[in-house]
Amino acid sequence: MVETDTLELLDQKVVAALLAHPRCRMSALAAAAGTSAPTVSRRLNSLFERKLIRVVSVIDQQRAGYGFAVFLRLRCIPGASADVAQAVAQWPESGYVSVVGGDLDCTAQLHVRSTKHLMELLNSRLTQVRGVTGSSTSKIIRRFSTPHGWSGGLVPEATLATLRAERLDHWSEDRPCDARPIDALDQALVDLLSADGRRSWRDLAEHLQIQPATARRRVEALMSAGLLRLRAVVQPAVIGQPVVASLWLRVTPARLEAVGRTLAAHPNVLNIAATTGLTNLSGEIATSDDDALYTFLTEEVGRLPGVAAVDVSDGLQVIKRASLVYDPEHPERVRSEVTPG
């Protein structure tokens, strides 16, 4: 595992505010971080230039009805897990890939168009990846939280509520999606925002030769409908939460909704979802140290009625997050981007 550097406190506060509202105005970010707008602008520019953080804006394919997501769990021959993870990270269908410890060697989250598409991946592409000795998949059937709403617990509740109140996109899974057709102009705007979710209305308009008001109206309509979602992407270690783990829980079906919602509300949980399979609740958590992870498992998870079993896979190195591939030598820095499938 390659060590990552942690940002100084002020930069952590700026990133935390950006997690709460990825398109937040500089003045609001400054108020949340307790500094001036010029300072925030300077700090953010440095973080972007160093590739430590990205703001992305994407169509939520699952909400829009464009297929479904699955967790892929892999076992590998000794010494092959990193190479396997790098290979899977190049798949456009993978949004998240991690080398893990414990009973597994590599985990990934894939988005596929159909069951036939998934079968093609498993029976054709996966068999060509050298070093894989076993695999299993579980379909995501209900999402309780996603990284669109992850705050890391670094922003006070009052500040968090203020920042989120200004968001038009759906950071929570509780708001229903108003699925509707996306035309060529909508898609062109989405494509521009996918690389930089903070692009100005004027910049978008100039690229597409439309009026800024048109760009803003179209984008905000997609956000309000729950189709276009924003996310500030950063490796948790950079903001002081280096202990990352994948969770695989077996929960009594009658308690699945309650347990999922309870864990989704925890500030350190990046995502949690109900799935098919022997373990029916899966997700990811980031904490400051092993003691915090232990406390979470024993006091938060262990005391929840209905939890029958818990498996934890240590996150040794996240290779891909939000379709961004990270540099193996500098795992806090984005190396490249793989277009989702």
Could you give phi then psi for residue 230, rounded to 5 degrees? -105, 150
Could you give phi then psi for residue 247, rounded to 5 degrees? -110, 135
Total of domains in the chain = 1
Torsion, Cα of 150, 224, 160, 238 (10° steps): 40
Interatomic CA distance for residues 248 and 226, integer angstroms: 28
Q: What is the CA 221 to chain-centroid distance, rounded?
A: 23
- Please report which residue ranges of the chain form alpha helices under DSSP H: 9-20, 26-33, 37-49, 81-89, 115-120, 157-165, 184-195, 201-208, 212-225, 256-264, 290-295
Task: Tell me, yes or no, whether 141 lies in a domain.
Answer: no
pLDDT of residue 113: 95
Q: How many CA atoms does the CB half-sphere of 277 hold within 13 Å?
A: 20
Token pair 């009026």: residue: 211
Provide the residue type at 147 as one letter.
P
Q: What percent of the chain has pLDDT over 90?
A: 86
Asked if pLDDT for residue 155 goes beyond 90, the answer is no
Interatomic CA distance for residues 71 and 74, integer angstroms: 10
Assigned token pair, 182:
């996306």
Task: Tell me, yes or no, whether 210 lies in a domain.
Answer: yes
Q: Give mean pLDDT, residues 87-107.
A: 95
Supply the DSSP symbol for 297: I
Task: Tell me, yes or no, whether 92 lies in a domain.
Answer: no
Domain with 212 in it: what CATH number? 1.10.10.10
Interatomic CA distance for residues 143 and 179, integer angstroms: 17
Q: Give mean pLDDT, residues 127-141.
A: 96
pLDDT of residue 1: 45
Q: Tell me if 107 sits within 8 A of 75, measured CB to CB.
A: no
Task: Tell me, yes or no, whether 208 lies in a domain.
Answer: yes
Asked if pLDDT for residue 339 goes beyond 80, the answer is no
Supply the DSSP symbol for 7: P
Task: Tell me, yes or no, whether 194 lies in a domain.
Answer: yes
pLDDT of residue 5: 60
Q: Tell me if 319 sits within 8 A of 99, measured CB to CB.
A: yes
Domain of residue 198, residue span: 178-225
Of 53-57, 211-215, 239-243, 337-341, minimum mean pLDDT range = 337-341
- Report in angstroms the alpha-carbon separations of 267 from 26, 83, 207: 24, 32, 38
Tens of pLDDT, residues 164-220: 999 999 999 998 888 888 899 999 999 999 989 999 999 999 999 999 999 999 999
pLDDT of residue 7: 87
- Work out the mean pLDDT of the chain and round it to a whole number: 93
Tens of pLDDT, residues 266-324: 999 999 999 999 999 999 999 999 999 999 999 999 999 999 999 999 999 999 999 99
Task: Tell me, yes or no, whether 200 lies in a domain.
Answer: yes
Interatomic CA distance for residues 50 and 44, integer angstroms: 10
Task: Tell me, yes or no, whether 187 lies in a domain.
Answer: yes
- Closest Cα partner for 229 from 102, 55, 110? 55
Q: What percent of the chain has pLDDT over 70?
A: 97
Interatomic CA distance for residues 235 and 320, integer angstroms: 10
Asked if pLDDT for residue 26 goes beyond 60, the answer is yes
